[in-house]
Structure 1
Amino acid sequence: MVLEAWLDAAIGGVIGLLFGSFLNVVIYRLPKMMERQWATELAQAEASSQGKEPPEDTQPTFNLMTPRSRCPACGHVVRWHENIPVVSYLFLRGRCSSCKTRISPRYPLVELATGALFFFCIHRWGATPTGLAWCGFSAALVALAFIDWDTTLLPDDITLPLLWAGLLASALQWTNVPLFASVMGAAAGYLSLWLVYWGFKLATGKEGMGYGDFKLFAALGAWFGWQALVPIILMSSVIGAIIGIAMKIFSSLREGGYIPFGPFLVGAGLTAMVFGPNAILGTVLGLFGL
Structure 2
Amino acid sequence: MDRVQNAMLLAVTPGLRWLTARFAVEPGAPVRTRCGGCGTPLAGRLFSPSGRCGDCGVMIGAPPYLLELVTVTGAVLAVLAAPSVPIALAALWWVACAVPLLFIDLRVHRLPDPLTGAALAGVLLMEAVAAVTTGPPAALGRALLCALAYGALLLVPALILGPRGLGLGDVKLFVSIAALFGWWGWSTVFTVLFLAFLASGVVAAGLLVTRRARRGTHIAMGPYLVGAAFTMLALLA
With the shorter chain as reference, the TM-score category is 0.7 to 0.9
1:238 aligns with 2:198: yes
Alpha carbons of 1:183 and 1:14: their partners in 2 closer, same or farther (altered >3 Å)?
Answer: same
Indicate yes or no: 2:222 matched with 1:262: yes
Partner of 2:208: 248
Match of 1:220 among 169, 177, 192: 177
Matched, 1:182 2:143: yes
Does the C-alpha gap of structure 1 residues 195 and 114 become closer, same or farther in structure 2, counting only changes over 3 Å? Answer: same
CA distance in 1, matches of 2:92, 2:25: 26
Once the two structures are overlaid, the 10-residue window that deviates more, 206-215 or 267-276, is 206-215
1:193 aligned to 2:154?
yes
Match of 2:94 among 118, 132, 137: 137
Whole-Å Cα distance in 1 between the matches of residues 144 and 214 of structure 2? 36
Q: Where does the alignment leave 5 or more consecutive residues of structure 1 unmatched?
A: 1-5, 39-61, 280-290
Q: Pairwise CA RMSD of aligned residues?
A: 3.8
Out of 82, 99, 114, the position equivalent to 2:71 is 114
**Mapped partners of 2:22, 2:59: distance in 1:** 20
1:59-118 per-residue CA deviation (whole Å, 9 max, x = no partner) reads xxx64xxx5xx5x5456899x9x9543xxx4xxxx9878767788982311112112222
1:141-160 pair list within 5 angstroms: 141-160=98-117
What SS is found at the alignment partner of 2:165? coil
Structure 2 residue aligned with 1:162: 119
Structure 1 residues 208 and 187 mapped into 2: Cα distance closer, same or farther (>3 Å)?
Answer: same
Distance 2:112 2:174 in 1: 13
Secondary structure in 2 matching 1:257: coil
- Using the TM superposition, give the Cα deviation of residue 125 of structure 1 relative to its aligned residue in structure 2, in angstroms: 5.2
Provide the rounded CA distance (Å) in 2 between the counterparts of 1:166 and 1:240. 25
The answer (yes or no) to whether the contact 2:143–2:181 under 8 Å persists in 1 is yes
CA distance in 1, matches of 2:179, 2:119: 9
| 1:15 and 2:11 correspond | no
TM (norm. structure 1) is 0.64
Please state how far the C-alpha of 1:246 moved relative to its aligned partner.
3.4
Residues 130-149 of structure 1 deviation map (CA, whole Å, 9 limit, x = unaligned): 33332211121111122122
Change in CA separation of 1:228 and 1:26 when aligned onto 2, cut-off 3 Å: same
For each residue in 1:143-199, what CA deviation from the matched residue of structure 2 results, as whole angstroms up to 9, or x when unmatched?
112212222211110112212222222222278771110110110111011122345
| Structure 2 residues without counterparts, runs of 5 or longer | none
CA distance in 1, matches of 2:201, 2:60: 30
Distance 2:84 2:218 in 1: 41
Whole-Å Cα distance in 1 between the matches of residues 152 and 95 of structure 2?
A: 24
Which segment is superposed worse, 261-270 or 128-137? 128-137
Give the CA deviation at 1:234.
0.9
TM-score, length basis structure 2: 0.76
How far apart, in 2, do the equivalents of 1:227 and 1:127 lie? 20
Aligned-partner Cα distance in 1 for 2:143–2:84: 23
Q: 1:128 to 1:76 in 2, by over 3 A?
A: same
- Separation in 1 of the partners of 2:119 and 2:61? 28
Give the 5 Å matches for 1:65-144: 67=34, 70=35, 72-73=36-37, 83-85=47-49, 89=50, 106-122=63-79, 128-144=85-101
Asked if 2 retains the 8 angstrom alpha-carbon contact of 1:24 and 1:107, the reply is no
Count how many residue pairs are aligned between Structure 1 and Structure 2: 229
Equivalent-residue separation in structure 1 for 2:57 and 2:114 (angstroms)? 35
CA distance in 2, matches of 1:122, 1:179: 19
Letter in 2 for 1:257: T
Is contact 1:154–1:213 with CA below 8 Å preserved after alignment? yes
Change over 3 Å in CA distance of 1:96–1:251 after alignment to 2: farther
